[in-house]
Chains A and B, each alone.
Chain A
Amino acid sequence: MTDDDTTQIPEPDQPPEPEQRRMTRPRDDRVFAGVCKGLGRYFNVDPVLFRVAAVALIFFGGAGLLLYIAAVLLIPNEGEERPESRRRRDRALAVIGVVLLVVAAGSIFSHGVFHAGWAFGPFVFIGLAALGVWWLVSGERPRGDARDVLRSVVRGIGVLIICTALALGGAWLAGAGGGTAAAIAVIAAGAILAGAALEGYGRWLVLPALSLALPVAFVSAANIDLHGGAGDKQYVPASAAQVRDSYRVGAGRLVVDLRDAQLPPGDRPLKLRVGVGEADLIVPDNVCVSTSAKVGMGAVDSFERSNGGVDVDWVDQPPAAAGNPRIVLDAHVGVGRVLISHFRSEDFGPGYRKFYRPLPQPGDEVNSGCEVTHAR
């Protein structure tokens, strides 16, 4: 038997080495950075479950967003090998994310879920809104690593600032008496947008143009008049002679308390104008109120009756009872409410808002100075 005659005894079949499973963020079919899809693939679970959980966690003090960012830093993209220095940096950022999560958790447990949610909510909301805005104007879905997503957020915030400035500027111009100029600006913006669309680059202009047009149209529809300044104004005339024909506030609360005015019998016209806010008229029991009120968006609360919504047009013109004075009220509020009552909210204690006052008792909140009072 020679060496050549020796037969090779085949080795028994070795079980194949199990393929090492590695969690990665797939590049296809991802919504943002592919974290949920990667988790779903790794755990063999529908990624929708992770997406729902992530969105739900966002409202728990923003924990979902922080977790997502940490996951983006920790889980590499599919087919991506990160250099050691990059991995170290990402790990450091992830640690910061975890610390933030711990702070969030501490806040939740010490102040309650809703307090924490309110504290983080605006930042989460602004971040998501910025991402959505950038997506809308550029057509680029937020994808890539954390730096790319952050870049999209920053650009989105820039667009948001521009759109907010356009919206506030247009609304202010329309409300401050420049309605015609604001409308012409809107038409010009529409024309520029249409022209740009013909040239193939109109997408960027859609959001800024709408940001200008919609507030101007809103202010026009609500008939908001910002003349009269901003803030709360209270008038408590001590005699009939001190009662003015009209009162006005641009934005804020206007209170006209006529309980000490000792109005003589007969009609007394009165105009109340509020752009955005509340117009309160308080009258004594013996004064009848004839009301014609228009509210663009909001409500009219007249004694025991109320009506709310958009384009509210309230007319209630009862005659005064014999010997009683009558206020002939002409009230316009753009956005807010008209409130006619025998009481002031402050009568119920410091800081007590009318909204929270106890329900009126039978007989104490009716237009009692009129000939015919409304039944409850």
Chain B
Amino acid sequence: MPAKLQLGPLVAGLGVIVLGVLALLDSTNVISLGFGALAPLACAVAGATLLASGLTRSG
């Protein structure tokens, strides 16, 4: 793993990409995005980001 890598921001970036893909699929009517799916996903992204940041910090 490169020394410069920031795991927390990397996970956050991947989470943002997932959110964008879901919004894209919703806008093109491939899926119907609702809060029932968005809320747990947003929590998962936030949780994974914090977890990754904590793991990085603890070495």
In residues 351-376 of chain A, which contact B (Cβ within 8 Å)?
none
Which of A185, A193, A201, A297 makes the CB contact (< 8 A) with B13?
Answer: A193
Q: For residue B38, give the distance in angstroms from its CB to the closest CB of chain A.
A: 4
Q: A183-B24, A206-B8, A214-B42 are in contact. Are A190 and B33 (CB under 8 A)?
A: no
Which secondary structure dominates chain B's binding surface?
helix
Query: Is A217 part of the contact surface with B, judged by Cβ < 8 Å?
Result: yes
Across the interface, do A200 and B6 meet the contact criterion of CB distance under 8 Å?
yes
Quick check: is A1 within 8 A (CB to CB) of the other chain? no
Looking across the interface, which residue of chain A has its beta carbon closest to that of B23? A183
The minimal Cβ–Cβ distance linking A75 to chain B, given in whole angstroms, is 31
* Contact across chains for B6 and A202 when beta carbons are under 8 A apart: yes
Q: Give the dominant DSSP class at A's interface.
A: helix
A199 at interface by CB-CB < 8 Å: yes
Q: Which residue of B lies closest to A194 (CB)?
A: B13
| Total of A-B residue pairs, C-beta within 8 Å | 131
Q: Which residues of A contact B59 (CB under 8 A)?
A: none
Number of interface residues of A (CB under 8 A): 41
Contacts A190-B19, A296-B35, A310-B39 hold; do A197 and B13 have CB atoms under 8 A apart?
A: yes
Which residues of the other chain, A, contact B20 by a CB distance below 8 angstroms? Answer: 183-190, 213, 216
Residue B10 interfacial (CB < 8 Å): yes
Closest to B36 in A: A311
A80-97 contact mask (Cβ, 8 Å, vs B): 1 or 0: 000000000000000000
Question: Given the interface contacts A297-B35, A310-B39, does A202 sit within 8 Å of B23 by beta carbon?
Answer: no
A183-B23, A311-B35 given; 14 more Cβ-contact pairs under 8 Å: A180-B24, A186-B19, A190-B16, A192-B13, A197-B9, A197-B12, A198-B10, A206-B12, A209-B13, A216-B20, A217-B23, A218-B38, A221-B37, A311-B36
